[in-house]
Structure 1
Amino acid sequence: MSRLAAPLWFAHALRVQRGPMPWSAVTRGALAAGPLLLAGVGTGHTARGVLAAIAAMLAGINDRPGSRRVSVKRLGVPALAGALGLLAGTYAGQGLAAVPLTLVLTLLGLVAGGISAVGAVASATGTQVLVGAAIGAGMPAAESGWQRALAFLSGAGWLLVLRLALPTPGSLAGDFRFDGERAAVAEVYDAIAALLDAVGGERATARRAALTAALDHAQDALAGPRLRRYIGSAAERRLHAQFAAALPLAEAATALFWSGEPVSARTAEGPRRLAAAVRGNTSPGPLPAPHRSAPALRALDDALLHAAEAFDRGEGADRGLVGRRRGIGSALRAALGTGGREYGLRVSVCFGAAAAIAQALHHTRWYGQHQHWYWLPATTVFLVKPDLGPLASRVLCRAAGTVLGALVFAGLAALLPRPAGLIALVTVCGALVPVATRHFAAQTAVVTVLVLALVMAGGEPQASVSRIGETLLACALVLLVGHLPMPRERGGGVRARLAAAGSAAHAYLVHVLGESDDHAERWALRREAYRTLAEARTAIALAAAELPALARHTAGTDAVADALERLVDTTTACAVHLDDTGRLAPRHVRQLWDALDELKLPQGEVPLPAAV
């Protein structure tokens, strides 16, 4: 008898992200929210200190591993949006009655929800603008809107200063500014070596996916803002050259993966030495050459030779290749497309309904003396975010984390002195936020303790019971709205991701079979094809883990992603083979037609090389 498997939505709720302990982020967290609250209390501006600590906490949630320069956008853009939301919410709350205020917040939810569908930074931006608007509208304060926004910006700005100034592990090996970029590029070479080791084995597919993730991470790290647009430092040029040298290596390794024939252990030694050279900021020395017995192996040998030359001179990178970003037009299409419309409508309904319910309950006995009706709409903002996991999973995690955090705080609040004990508790929770982000329930528990401590430090009574009640009400609201029928919008996010992946795969295939000599363009198209495919797979996996009523709307999309993946892998193998022989083998042609037939793509739109 086979063992019963847990439902996907429940299994997802138990899943914890793994990785090394982020000690640098823990240090920054300890130096952010708690000291900011202490400064506010010590100077007699407690309310501003609370707002600064809230901003630092939200920035800490976005403080993920990566390069310093990318952190400017990852932390700064959402913080700026949060300050603007706080500013708008404050003036709207002061000047509008309950009904017009609810309508304004509902409209803001529609816009912010659509923007959130663009990408990770846009999602954090939409979240913070709504949280800021809810706090501004619902938190009573004597300060003006611009004073509150300035306090919010100062809190997030302080954490960003810490991110840019404090050293991280490995930052002393070479230029201090580029430790995150250096680690990201080294991980690409390690991923290439791991794929070569796994060629022909059961783990090869997972290793190829890991290579895509490493390339995406490095591309993002190198695309951060620059002080000088055209002429960077020697260290920056060297890193760009090293990343560009990894692209033909990744292409050759993918072609070997497609062939399915194992290679010798010697083949992976060269990329490993290149990874060590990137990390240590040293020369790789002589690289062992693989056997040149097949087109993909010859391509790998040529790529290793090119990499050795690039490492020695530290030049030759195509800055446009590694810095290519999706434009405003692409972002608008994502925000206004099916995925953006679906998410925007749900955020709008949840946020607006939560604001209306909270204001209706504001003066009832259930709320008592606690002046924080903004908690309910702010909670729905996090609950309605699909990038935090399937709906049922995140609701379960949010409820469990809130109950745990509220009970822990209730016990600590009875023992700790005020305000010193509360400031110490905020400091500890700030340090725990980067670790707790690995699981939504753990993050919720830590944030709950931190927020309740800030509320009490601001002069309000202990609010654990009302916090639990409001969270459970928000969970019920989001579950209800999440299952409301929305004709022609169900699964829109997954379909939009698949459509983008299909377009990118088609553009890559047309370029390769068109026999263009522009290798930089080919590698850029290949990156976009694999990147959009990885995004589609992530969206499909989340949708599959929803409750059956929602998961059925995206049934079968994983098969489409599998077919697209085979098409892109085959296209990569074709590119390498055409470079070496000038013609395609029968196996290449057969698998191309099979993939096109499976995807129902018109073969007449694909130009065949003259040598076929």
Structure 2
Amino acid sequence: MSPRPHRPARAALPPWIAHALRAQRGPVPWSAVARGALSAGPLLLAATLADRTSLGVVAAIAAMLAGINDRPGSRRSSVRRLGAPALAGAAGLLVGTYAGDHAGPVALTAVLTGLGLVAGGISAVGPVASGAGTQLLVAAAIGAGMPLPEDGPTRALAFLAGAGWLLTLRLALPTPGAMTGDFRFDGERDAVAGVYDAIAALLDAAGTGHATARRAALTAALDDAQDALDGPRLRRFASSAAERRLHGQYAAALPLAEAATALAWAGEPVGARAGEGPRRLAAAVRENTPTGPLPAPSRSAPALRALDDALLRAAEAFDRGAGRDLHTRRRGVRNLLRTVLGAGGREYGLRVALCFGTSVALAQALHHAHWYGRHEHWYWLPATAVFLVKPDLGPLVSRVLCRAAGTVLGALLFAGFAALLPRPAGLVALVAVCGALIPVATRHFAALTAVVTVLVLSLVMVGGEPQASVGRLVETLLACGIVLFVGHLPMPGERGGQVRARLATAADAAHAYLTHVLAERGTAGAPLGEDDDRAARWTLRREAYRTLAEARAAIARAAAELPALARHSEGADEVAALLERLVDTTTACAVHRDDTGRLDAAHRERLAELLDELAVRRGRVGLPTPTGPSAALPEPSPAG
């Protein structure tokens, strides 16, 4: 046979283009689609029938913004995920309305720029804070620029009513195919069951090349469960037994996850029997039933003995239906302020302030320019800039490309719909359809932009304004140019502040975990769950892995930027990988010490190697040395 002709390798796309073409995958969230269809459209219809169309427009905008934050998860976590941004949006609407009514163009620009500085710094704290910062600025621009007859407090109440309506739907409507028992806890049970499934998958992958990926999947599952259980109790008294059971099931998974991580670190296969117990626990969580007999793994190694002990304690915890609160992230006000005022918060705050303030100033200039035509809805330009400057939506160029493409598509679609649909009934129906599409469109920024463009243009026309697709397109392109320019401007201090801040937080968490393990005074063979040191250790371990996952996400986004920006985070990925290996090794040390009461020479040598290499790598990427109680690592204390 003649040899096959050689085919040249297909050139890989640059990361910033590949990211723009990538979309999230998964099943259609039908429950979120139903909530979206029942939110903005019906609110607008009710207000139109009551002859309060302007309030209906405000409520529909709030429902739309809440729909963007309506992601999969538990009902209790949705209270914070939807409620906090809604409160921030109402406050922004008040500030924007007052500033728009009483301040001139220069003073208005100054006020909104200062608001952008504050909102940008707050957004660095996390996803919920980022959503709150976004809604604060978008609502402030709408309050200052949207011509409405109502005063500020009335607008704010309408905004809260719109977001509150979607939150009410989220809490009240059952999920299709909800699990056994009270549907209000289906999200929590699903998340906790996912942890046990991830533990089983990690045990199956021990000794193979898939172990690292499975350990990362376990971290993600624990993060999801932690978020699902974090929030107010939905029924404080009637659901107390269910609350205790969920807490106990989550707490029982932590020592299992620790033992599974130690087994994966050892790099030796453990057999299929080891993963059978966690799978049965996952089924018990999903079906809300007793665990039944669990197969015991071999007890030939410290980590296997820890796994067997953890399975026994998990079965007892499931039967008791009670457990400690180990899911809450204990981050004090001091740490939150350090995040806001640190390098990441300062850099993000400055960029948001510059983008938002510049877009407000330009929009005001166009608003008062005779050659441009007095355009009442000038808020589109700064509101677009707010979404574009958010780094958690992807790399900068990817965001700009997707926003431009989505706006063009949305404007063209709306122009066609506006020519065909009756008014206002057809436009109200279009708002309802767009509300239903938002949960699916959030998988890609361009698709989300297209849907939001159609929805907002529909709201503007229902409010009495003429068709304005061309104006929206021009202002979107102006916002894209502003954000691209500001995004590449040099800022005070080092570039890549967000990445360095996340990585520094992860390093501090890893060192705090290692410090605790080396200083821990537990007794070899002590019963699980009866030692406060171990509960604190599991909490510290969770925080170390969670902050590492957040740092990894920030590094991945930075790596997909244009080379001029991506180079500022070079070397960060290697530091994150070293920190992960350090936390894995610390976990293996903790499990070994629980069993034997000491650390052997191999564990000590591995820790020393990782710490030495980490010190060198940290200096190369400009990270400070750990501060606080984890700065100096103590010698391991004797057991007993």
| Equivalent residue for 1:479, pick from 473, 479, 484 | 484
Match of 1:280 in 2: 287
Counterpart secondary structure, 1:352 = helix
Counterpart secondary structure, 1:226 = coil
CA contact (8 A) 1:584 1:611 kept: no
| Equivalent residue for 1:550, pick from 561, 565, 569 | 565
Which runs of no fewer than 5 residues in structure 1 stay unpaired? none
Match of 2:402 in 1: 397
Counterpart secondary structure, 1:533 = helix
Match of 1:256 in 2: 263
- Whole-angstrom CA distance in 2 between matches of 1:334 and 1:19: 33
Match of 2:414 in 1: 409
Counterpart secondary structure, 2:72 = coil
- After superposition, the C-alpha distances for 1:408-452 in whole angstroms (9 at most, x for unaligned) are 111111111111110111000000001111111111111111111
How many residue pairs get aligned? The number is 610
What is the root-mean-square deviation of aligned Cα atoms in Å? 1.7
- Whole-angstrom CA distance in 2 between matches of 1:604 and 1:140: 56
| Equivalent residue for 2:229, pick from 218, 222, 225 | 222
| Equivalent residue for 2:612, pick from 585, 597, 608 | 597
Q: Which amino acid aligns with 2:101?
A: Q
Q: Deviation at 1:370?
A: 3.8
Q: Does 1:322 align with 2:327?
A: yes
Q: Does 1:110 align with 2:117?
A: yes
- After superposition, the C-alpha distances for 1:537-563 in whole angstroms (9 at most, x for unaligned) are 111111111111111111101011011
Aligned 1:84-99 pairs, distance under 5 A? 84-99=91-106
The 1:604–1:146 alpha-carbon spacing in structure 2 relative to 1, beyond 3 Å, is: closer
CA contact (8 A) 1:341 1:489 kept: no
Q: Percent identity?
A: 76
Counterpart secondary structure, 2:175 = coil
Q: Which amino acid aligns with 1:225?
A: P
- Whole-angstrom CA distance in 2 between matches of 1:247 and 1:265: 21
Q: Which amino acid aligns with 1:608?
A: E
Q: Deviation at 1:215?
A: 0.5
Match of 2:529 in 1: none
| Equivalent residue for 1:587, pick from 592, 599, 602 | 602
- Whole-angstrom CA distance in 1 between matches of 2:59 and 2:497: 37
Match of 1:505 in 2: 510
Counterpart secondary structure, 1:322 = coil
Q: Deviation at 1:454?
A: 0.7
Match of 2:342 in 1: 337
Q: Does 1:187 align with 2:187?
A: no
The two structures have a TM-score, normalised by structure 1, of 0.97
Match of 2:618 in 1: none
The 1:325–1:226 alpha-carbon spacing in structure 2 relative to 1, beyond 3 Å, is: farther
Q: Deviation at 1:580?
A: 0.9
Counterpart secondary structure, 1:211 = helix
Q: Deviation at 1:369?
A: 5.4
- After superposition, the C-alpha distances for 1:77-106 in whole angstroms (9 at most, x for unaligned) are 100110111111111101111000000000
Q: Deviation at 1:187?
A: 0.6
- After superposition, the C-alpha distances for 1:191-246 in whole angstroms (9 at most, x for unaligned) are 11111111122221111011101111111111211368899610110000000000
CA contact (8 A) 2:76 2:234 kept: no
Q: Deviation at 1:341?
A: 0.2
Which runs of no fewer than 5 residues in structure 2 stay unpaired? 1-7, 523-532, 616-624
CA contact (8 A) 1:190 1:275 kept: yes
Aligned 1:28-177 pairs, distance under 5 A? 28-171=35-178, 173-177=180-184
Counterpart secondary structure, 2:420 = coil
Aligned 1:342-421 pairs, distance under 5 A? 342-364=347-369, 367-368=372-373, 370-421=375-426
Of 596-605 and 579-588, more deviation after overlay is shown by 596-605
Counterpart secondary structure, 2:330 = coil
- After superposition, the C-alpha distances for 1:340-367 in whole angstroms (9 at most, x for unaligned) are 0000000000000000000101134665
The 1:365–1:425 alpha-carbon spacing in structure 2 relative to 1, beyond 3 Å, is: farther
Of 197-206 and 502-511, more deviation after overlay is shown by 197-206
The 1:610–1:141 alpha-carbon spacing in structure 2 relative to 1, beyond 3 Å, is: closer
- Whole-angstrom CA distance in 2 between matches of 1:366 and 1:398: 27
Match of 1:4 in 2: 11
CA contact (8 A) 2:441 2:447 kept: yes
- After superposition, the C-alpha distances for 1:236-264 in whole angstroms (9 at most, x for unaligned) are 10000000000000000000110111121
Counterpart secondary structure, 1:475 = helix
| Equivalent residue for 1:304, pick from 311, 328, 338 | 311
The two structures have a TM-score, normalised by structure 2, of 0.93
